[in-house]
Amino acid sequence: MLLKNPNKKAQVNNETGLGTNTALSGGRFFNNNGTANMDVTGLPFWGRLNIYHSLLTMPTWRFLAFIFLSFGLINLLFACLYLSIGIDHLGGMVAGTDAEKFGEAFFFSAQTFTTVGYGRINPMGFSASLTASLEALIGLMSFALVTGLLYGRFARPRAYIRYSSNALLVPFRDGIALMFRMVPYTRNYLVNVEVKLTLAMRVEEEGQVKNRFYNVPLDIAKATTMTANWTLVHMINEESPFAGFSKQDLIVAQAELLVFVQGFDESFSNTVISRASYGNEDFVYGAKFLPMFHPNEDNTRTVLHLDRLDDYVEAELPGELYK
- Angle made by CA atoms 154, 34, 55, in degrees to the nearest 5: 35
Same-domain status, 28 and 175: yes
What CA–CA distance (Å, rounded) separates 280 from 28? 10
Q: Kindly state whether residues 142 and 216 are assigned to the same domain.
A: no
Q: How many domains does the chain have?
A: 2
SS3 261: strand
DSSP letter at 116 equals: -
Q: What is the pLDDT of residue 44?
A: 80
Is residue 27 domain-shared with residue 59, that is, in the same domain? no
Q: What's the rounded Cα separation, in Å, for the pair 66 and 58?
A: 10
Instruction: Note whether 150 and 169 are same-domain residues.
Output: no
Q: Which residues of the chain have pLDDT under 50?
A: none
Say if residue 100 is in the same domain as residue 130. yes
Residues 178 and 289 in one domain: yes
The answer to whether residue 187 is domain-embedded is yes
| pLDDT, mean over the chain | 87
Is residue 40, in this structure, part of any structural domain at all?
no
Distance (Å, whole) CA 296 – CA 239: 41
Q: What is the pLDDT of residue 231?
A: 94
Domain containing residue 276: CATH number: 2.60.40.1400
Say if residue 189 is in the same domain as residue 304.
yes
Residue 140 and residue 268 in one domain? no
Residue 323 lies in a domain: no
Which of 280, 275, 274, 238 has the alpha carbon at shortest distance from 255?
280
Distance (Å, whole) CA 285 – CA 106 = 62
Same-domain check for residues 111 and 197: no
Half-sphere exposure of 298 (CA within 13 A, CB side): 1
State which of 155, 179, 214 marks the end of a domain: 155
pLDDT at residue number 8: 61
pLDDT at 133: 92
- Of 155, 178, 207, which one is at a domain's C-terminal end? 155
In a domain, 229, yes or no: yes
What is the per-residue burial (b if ≥16 Cβ within 10 Å, else e) of 32-65? eebeeeeeeeeeeeeeeeeeeeebeeeeeeebee
177, 234 contact by CB (below 8 A): yes
Domain for residue 97, yes or no?
A: yes
> Are both 207 and 120 inside the same structural domain?
no
Strand 283-285 and strand 287-289: the pairing is unpaired
Contact by Cβ (8 Å): 246, 322 = yes
Cα angle, residue 268 at apex, residues 262 and 270 outer, rounded to 5°: 45
Q: In degrees to the nearest 10, what's the CA dihedral of 10, 12, 18, 23?
A: 70
Looking at residue 22, its pLDDT comes to 67
Q: Do residues 147 and 83 both lie within one domain? A: yes
Position 320 in a domain: no
**What pLDDT does residue 24 have?**
64
Same domain for 189 and 214, yes or no, is: yes
Domain final position from 92, 123, 155: 155
Euclidean distance between CA atoms 263 and 195, whole angstroms = 9
Domain encompassing residue 192: 22-32+165-314
